[in-house]
A = this chain, B = another copy of it.
């Protein structure tokens, strides 16, 4: 071993020990005759002193070393005069006796400090230097601890970790697969798994009872800021359970992680029905760090609410299915400019509202609204009452088609949460969203799609609807865990009966031949004694970033890819040899323009 101690280990009690440390030169300072080096490794920083009066040659050598040189330093541990209470080794320093340069270093292309001058692209190209920064390394250490604690919890609950294959078979349902040409099976391809779904279900058929895996999954999708082509899941499945058992078990997991990694003892997680989440927050993943529930002034398809808007000549409301808004506390003083900003916000194409109606409840109780030429003061006061608005509050109201308006109002709610600082990264609000629809109809495709996936069981009480072909009303025993407005995990009770699984594929537009070719192995397995089972998968990258208080999952992945799916450090993907292509029985097909390709 080239060292006796790490750079984070020495304390006052080690005084007068002769030690060897190895690490990187973080910074050196020369005070004429006295030189100091901060030597850094993963475990900490230790100060090393070179005194020209003690060893002039050594002092000379030390003062010539550059940043990020790799050094082995031997010396005596001594108490410091000027103690540094910021770092754990701050009470001691090393009086150097010898120094060995283990490796030199060119000047890094950016400073390896918390506040670095390196842009994203440069840091990604030199990811191995970026990973030297404490914050990035801490992120990956947190990830390691998250995995440890996840395993500790699940091991303790009798889950068995089983590795499922990475080279599997491509299936058209779901996202786009990455495929791998098989040299030994010309013309055939493996696919990389989007999840180990069918394999974990087969493990239940095999009687494994409780399975988990922290596992890489793959989706060839166009990448948005926070998507990666390869990502990691905590993947779990249990037999002989009902939905409630799964919720309890994995609420327990997340509580365990919060307690052991952040010292936070979470309360029991509330449950919210999908329908309520949409109705009150316009999202199936509501951020409950703040309330600001939707209040409805009109909803044509819902008898719950009286229409408080129609017939006063305001066409926008008169023609709307839904008129609903939020009450933003203490914002009655918003300026014209601020309100215009909000109007612009909701009119952005991603949000899609046509306009924004406001209503100020002034401190003196008077009301000012953008629609006060259509509605009399009593009506507006009634609205304020329905919203439970207090003096100083601002109502923001949207109108239009129900689904669209809810979505837009949900985005506006989050925007107001941001503006008011209600989305504190150190505050955590968890809930279960339950009772998802089993199927959703996609207009453009002209067919139903599984909202969770084709293996999700309908609720027993909605089986009647299934037999009547009333697909839209069927609810599933499917559930998502939502933390701070982020879906961190989701799962469902599964189908474990061949006939029902076959029916599901039929509803999803599979011919029985297609269903058999692609999922025959699973349906066959259901005929040999499949137990009732249910499961869940958590997005591990996402969960780590949430615990680490970061917005991007990239900060929690050692070697992430950019939005074009490239690893700019290794410069991959890359072209391959003609010989490789030939062995794989494929050729490139990039001469034609892309448009002709899809004929």
Contacts and interface: CB of A to CB of B under 8 A. Distances in A.
B176 A183 contact: yes
B209 A41 contact: yes
Interface stretch (A240-248, A426-434, A483-491): A240-248
A202, A223, A572, A583 pick with most chain B CB within 10 angstroms: A572
A388 B223 CA distance: 72
Contacts of A460: none
Contacts of A104: 529
Nearest to A186: B590
A68 B206 CA distance: 11
Interface in A101-143: 102-106, 108, 126-129, 131-132, 137, 140-141, 143
B178 A178 contact: no
Given A187-B588, A571-B521, A163 B103 contact: no
Contacts of A148: 151, 155, 161
A574 B569 CA distance: 33
Nearest to A217: B166
Nearest to A159: B144
A252 interface: no
Given A168-B572, A187-B575, A241-B2, A105 B527 contact: yes
Interface residues of A, number: 130
B590 A589 contact: no
B169 A570 contact: yes
A28 interface: no
A501 interface: no
28 contacts: A41-B207, A43-B209, A68-B529, A69-B529, A103-B526, A108-B528, A128-B202, A128-B206, A128-B528, A140-B208, A143-B162, A143-B163, A144-B161, A144-B162, A147-B161, A163-B557, A164-B558, A164-B559, A165-B558, A165-B561, A168-B570, A170-B576, A177-B580, A181-B181, A184-B222, A185-B565, A189-B573, A202-B559
Interface of A: 1-3, 6, 22-24, 40-43, 68-70, 72, 102-106, 108, 126-129, 131-132, 137, 140-141, 143-144, 147-148, 151, 155, 160-170, 172, 176-192, 198-199, 202-203, 205-209, 216, 218, 220, 222-223, 229-230, 232, 239-242, 245, 496-497, 520-521, 525-532, 557-559, 561, 564-567, 569-577, 579-590, 597-598
